[in-house]
């Protein structure tokens, strides 16, 4: 009998891709899932801060080609865990897109030990930050579910 179940990476990355469908910024949809001991502890997608109008309602507020209205999916997943008193120390983050340098720095300070990304969106600043950190960083290699 063969095991047709997805790998843990495939399982959690597929959840991150489902989460990104909740994104409310039409410019970029990103989903992130935080996992500890093979259990999902939090998720987040890019959208306006709690209680604020979303880009889909009032449009994007662009400064230097970045939307100022949006909290990134990675940031939201960490914030959701913090709001519920859940430690992210030693967790793994699955994110649908290569993180920006701010999200990476927040992940480092949140104690995330590993970051798995799917879609390339390289940033040379991220590479430099990673060289000085102990965060394991890798591209998702599994099959899309």
Helix (H, G, I), strand (E, B) or coil at 115: strand
d(CA 13, CA 26): 21
Of the residues 10, 57, 74, 119, only one is catalytic, namely 74
Q: What is the pLDDT of residues 99-124, one digit of tens each?
A: 999 999 999 999 999 999 999 877 88
74 is a catalytic site residue:
yes
pLDDT profile of the chain (145 residues), mean per 10: 86 98 94 98 96 93 89 98 98 96 96 96 86 94 87
Q: Is residue 1 part of a domain?
A: no
Q: Which residue segment(s) compose the domain that 120 sits in?
A: 29-139
Contact 88, 113 (CB under 8 A): no
Q: Is residue 2 part of a domain?
A: no
- Cβ-proximal residues to 7 (8 Å cutoff; 6+ apart), any chain: 142
pTM of the model: 0.93
Contact 45, 31 (CB under 8 A): yes
CATH number at residue 75: 3.40.140.10
Identify the pLDDT of residue 78: 98
Q: Is residue 6 part of a domain?
A: no
Rg of the chain over all Cα atoms, to the nearest angstrom: 15
Count of the separate structural domains present in the chain = 1
Q: Is residue 19 part of a domain?
A: no
d(CA 108, CA 113): 8
Q: Is residue 110 part of a domain?
A: yes
């Amino acid at each position: 009998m063969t095991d047709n179940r997805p790998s843990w990476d495939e399982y959690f990355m597929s959840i991150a891709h489902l989460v990104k469908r909740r994104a409310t910024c039409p410019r970029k949809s990103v989903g992130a899932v935080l996992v500890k001991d093979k259990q999902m502890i939090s998720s987040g997608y890019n959208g306006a801060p709690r209680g604020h109008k979303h880009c889909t309602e009032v449009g994007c507020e662009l400064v230097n080609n970045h939307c100022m209205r949006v909290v990134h999916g990675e940031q939201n997943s960490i914030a959701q865990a913090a709001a519920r008193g859940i430690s992210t120390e030693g967790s793994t983050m699955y994110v649908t897109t290569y993180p920006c340098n701010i999200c990476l720095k927040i992940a480092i300070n949140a104690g995330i030990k590993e970051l798995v990304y799917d879609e390339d969106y390289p940033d040379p600043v991220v590479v430099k930050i990673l060289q000085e950190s102990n965060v394991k960083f890798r591209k998702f290699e599994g099959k899309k579910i």
